[in-house]
A = this chain, B = another copy of it.
Amino acid sequence: MAMTVAELAKAVGGVVVGDGTKVVESCNTLMEATAEQVSLLHNAKYARELDTTRAGCVIVAPGTVKGGGEAGLTLIEAKNAYYAWQQTMVMLHGQRRHESVGISQQAAIHPTAKLGKNVSVHPFAVIGENVEIGDATTVYSHVTLQRGVKIGKETVLYPSVTVYEECVIGDRCLINAGTVIGSDGFSYAQEGGVHHKMPQRGNVRIEDDVEIGCNAVVERAALGSTVVGRGTKIGNLVVVGHNCRIGQGNLLISQVGIAGSTNTGKYVVMAGQAGVNGHLDIPDFVKVGAQAGVMTNPEPNAEIVGTPAMAATEVKRIFLNTLRLPELAKRVKELEKKLGEKPEARSQKPEENSKLETRNSR
């Protein structure tokens, strides 16, 4: 596929600055793009690469570079430059296609399962009793769908996905390799030195247009449903605990963990390795920083970081003061001297020195 810069700008709702007649046919980074390629400046960190890029055209936010800059670049200015880039990538490179392969003779499909039109089932998939699969859905190799699972249409289950009994997955979902939907919540009642397993008799309901990364886990509810809302995107190795209700359009980045019975509003974002306590309510548009530990309910729209997680501005202020602590301690000592105080002996215990050593598993 090839198109002129002017055609591309029109397609993505952008404005050409420079030569709109140039032809571009693919995308690349600023550093590696050639004259036939489109590139993007999204992160200010890479701005200096504009001086040397050979890209035929660069997508930027309006006003980022004046008139193509000294290098005389051809630009497409777009209000949402990243979205313009996404559209360009789709036009010039396309999304992954899933070949229609029909129903493999090497799959194990229960006679009661109902498969829609144009469903693809790859070798060694296992489809259980009363499973229902919508039109044009792809079930890759080594997927297991247990009894009573319902999958919507145009959904893709990548290799080795396991869906436990009675769970429901919507339309146009992408569930990546190794992810497990509907395993039991971690729930035991301790009595007499024994952890008695709490039955987990609910299910998981994943709404439409959800993508889940690899080797993630969404636990089934004890009763009722664990829900993942429409359009939510979940990264690799994320755990969503039992009875959580994750709202619409959330972004849960890799290795996030959310304990049981926590609800999130719309468009909540959790950065990598964040952890959230159980039984919380995370309101709309909250942003949780990487590695944050959320232990209380944040305010709507809050940006929170740290463990325990607090408003980012507050955490920064405290952090900066912490950096100056050694100096503050010195100043207090000075004051004490001036006032004739004899500072108490505060010998540094030697064992404290070893507490922060780099840890490794050997």
Contact = CB atoms under 8 A, between A and B. Distances in A.
Contact of A231 (B195, B269, B307, B336): B195
Interface string A176-199: 111010011111111101111111
Interface in A31-54: 32, 43, 45
A293 to B, nearest CB: 5
Interface string A304-333: 011110001001111111111111110110
Contacts of A271: 358-361
Interface of A: 27-29, 32, 43, 45, 80, 82-83, 85-87, 89-90, 93-96, 104, 106, 108, 122-124, 126, 140-142, 144, 158-160, 162, 164-165, 176-178, 180, 183-191, 193-201, 209, 211, 213-217, 219, 222-224, 231, 233, 235-237, 239, 241-242, 249, 251, 253-255, 257, 259-260, 267, 269, 271-273, 275, 277-279, 287-291, 293, 295-296, 303, 305-308, 312, 315-329, 331-332, 334-336, 338-339, 341, 343, 346, 348, 351-362
A328 to B, nearest CB: 6
A329 B328 contact: yes
B194 A29 contact: no
By Cβ-Cβ distance, the 7 closest A-B pairs, closest first, are: A290-B359, A86-B189, A259-B361, A108-B123, A162-B177, A144-B159, A83-B189
A316 B354 CA distance: 9
Q: Is the interface of A mostly helix, strand, loop or mixed?
A: loop
A329 B324 contact: yes
B144 A160 contact: yes
Given A177-B180, A217-B236, A273-B273, A295 B241 contact: no
A217 B343 CA distance: 52
A87 B95 CA distance: 49
